[in-house]
Amino acid sequence: MKIAVLDWYTMDMTGDISTAPIEELGDVKFFPLTSPEETVKNIGDAEIVLCNKVMITREIMDKCPNIKYIGLLATGYNNIDIEYATEKGITVCNGGSYSTNAVAQQTFAYILDYCSKIRDYDIIIKNGEWEKSPLFSYFPIPTAEVAGKTLSIVGYGSIGKKVAEIAKAFDMNIIISTRTTPRDCPYKCTDIMTAVEKADFITFHCPLTEKTKGMVNAELLSHMKKSAVLINTSRGAVVNEKDLSDALNNGKIAYAYLDVLEKEPMSPDTPMKNARNCVITSHTAWSAFETRKRLVDIVCNNVRAWINGTPTNKVN
């Protein structure tokens, strides 16, 4: 089998992930990145295409008639024309739930950062402030316990469930808001506005759909507590960035932590860049070493299952 890996650098920009598991599957060509103009050439006569963000459109499939299988080095598959792939008999499989632990971990890194103020204390201590204090315990920056705070979780897939599990261990009050009421959910389930109004922290773990696009807007933000913190590790377009920036700059909410933006890499003119009380990470929540290695293993197992006639994680 001929295999084209179109954007390997999205998985391995530092060279820490072995290509050997993929090379065992067939005759593989690795491309660091693939521009739209290069897609047809880089796929060539490959039967298997592995990619993360490269657009595989109707036109690409027509110009690359050997494609039989598309494997996503990701969970999301909005870069693939799924309907046309199905029409052409091309199997499409995604990476499944590979990043659950990593994304949940980063969500709580944000929450603990906000409550414990470790970065802030490191700065003032290294500036010599503790040395000047007559007190052995120097605490000019207020901190807070996580226990007893209300965490509203929007989306209750594998990541939302893991976040709730960790929140329970921290003795937080947990509210779930999701599209359909989950069975046997041990937490309070409510509509989005109730979840917003009650939240000390609200974290988004929902897919990007027509209904969720721009759902964090001026109207939703106006229902949040002024002391509330918003976290988004889902998709950037869930947030209306202008509305969130205005809310932060005008003190309508206390803080925001964003791992995703509507345009990635970040645009220099995004309103979030200079928003007050906003921490931005560069879409890193999923990218722990163990997580990326797990994803490669899942993707390789998907290919083997397809070759054996029993595809797994199929999305079409």
For 88-113, write each residue's pLDDT tens digit.
999 999 998 899 999 999 999 999 99
Q: Is 283 considered catalytic here?
A: yes
What one-character DSSP code corresponds to residue 181?
P
Catalytic residue, from 235, 241, 292, 294: name it: 235
Residues 279, 280, 286, 288, CA torsion sign? negative
Phi, psi dihedral angles at 136 (to 5 degrees): -70, -30
- Mean pLDDT score across all residues of the chain: 97
pLDDT of residue 233: 98
Q: Is 24 considered catalytic here?
A: no
Confidence of residue 76 (pLDDT cuts 50, 70, 90): confident
Give me the mean pLDDT over the 114-121 stretch.
98
Domains and CATH numbers, the chain: 2-94+289-307 (3.40.50.720), 100-276 (3.40.50.720)
Q: Is 223 considered catalytic here?
A: no
Structure tokens at 118: 């470790």
Catalytic residue, from 264, 276, 290, 304: name it: 264
Order across the sheet with 278-280: list the strands: 188-189, 173-177, 150-154, 201-204, 229-232, 255-258, 278-280
Catalytic residue, from 23, 47, 197, 283: name it: 283
Cβ pair 71, 49 in contact under 8 A: yes
Phi, psi dihedral angles at 264 (to 5 degrees): -130, 135
pTM here is: 0.94
Give me the mean pLDDT over the 267-295 stretch.
97
Give me the mean pLDDT over the 56-76 stretch.
97
Confidence of residue 183 (pLDDT cuts 50, 70, 90): confident
Confidence of residue 181 (pLDDT cuts 50, 70, 90): confident
